[in-house]
Amino acid sequence: KAFADEWAAANIVAHHATGPLWIVLGDSTSQGIGATTREAGYVGVVHEVLRRRDAWRVINLSRAGIRVADVLARQLPELAELTDEEPAALVTCIVGAEDVARSLPGTDIALRSMCAAMPRGAVIGTVPLVGPAADAANAVLREEVVKHGLRLADLGAVKSAPTRGREAIRLGDVAHAAWARI
């Protein structure tokens, strides 16, 4: 909750600032969950690098526990509203771990719909889990990014203690920094 609150406050500041805009969609990994601070999450690390080049601002719409259907129903409409007058310079999305870990039916269809609705050039992360369901989801993503002019960030698999859903991925500061380099 603390990271979500910090992002909400930072989003307000970013919305009223000027400079290239990065909009982040997705689940708890984009919130920075597992890192010691919000800034140590991969979004914070990448944002710091971008700010060294220009006055980049980031609006992070990600939420813990989000599924692909939530990106479609909530985050993509927010993205459309935010970019109504001026397009974002960068859009990224990492989502699907919750869907895959819970074996939600229709995950492939939801991923296809999500990719089709993303702005051209958006960066989509692979589902960072292991197993046949993750492999199938990632195969869909690899196909759809090509079809829709998107870019793929191959995140690899996070190996952690066997758990379910968003608890299956716990990135620490080092892993968040590694994702930032991708």
- The model's pLDDT over 36-78, given as tens digits with 9 standing for 90+, comes to 888 878 898 888 888 888 899 999 999 999 999 999 999 999 9
pLDDT in tens, 107-142: 999 999 999 999 999 999 999 989 999 999 999 999
Q: How confident is the model at residue 166 (pLDDT cuts 50, 70, 90)?
A: very low
Q: Mean pLDDT over residues 133-162, rounded? A: 87
User: Between the CA of residue 125 and those of 2, 84, 171, what are the distances in Å?
Assistant: 24, 24, 15
Block residue for tokens 């299956």:
168
Helix/strand/coil for 151: strand
Adjacent-strand bridge partners of 153 = 125
Mean pLDDT over the full length of the chain: 88
Predicted TM-score (pTM) above 0.85: yes
Hunting for tokens 């892993």 — which residue is that? 175
Residues with Cβ < 8 Å from 22, sequence gap 6 or more?
46, 47, 50, 56, 57, 58, 59, 88, 89, 90, 91, 92
Q: Which band of pLDDT confidence, cut at 50, 70 and 90, is reported for residue 84? A: very high
Residues 6+ apart with CB under 8 A from 81: none
User: C-alpha 143: how far from its chain's center?
Assistant: 18
Q: Which residues have CB under 8 Å from 90's CB, separation 6+?
A: 20, 21, 22, 23, 123
Determine the Cα–Cα distance for residues 118 and 72; give it in Å rounded to an integer.
9
Is residue 159 over pLDDT 70?
no
Separation CA 69–CA 88 (nearest Å) = 22
**At residue 1, does pLDDT exceed 80?**
no
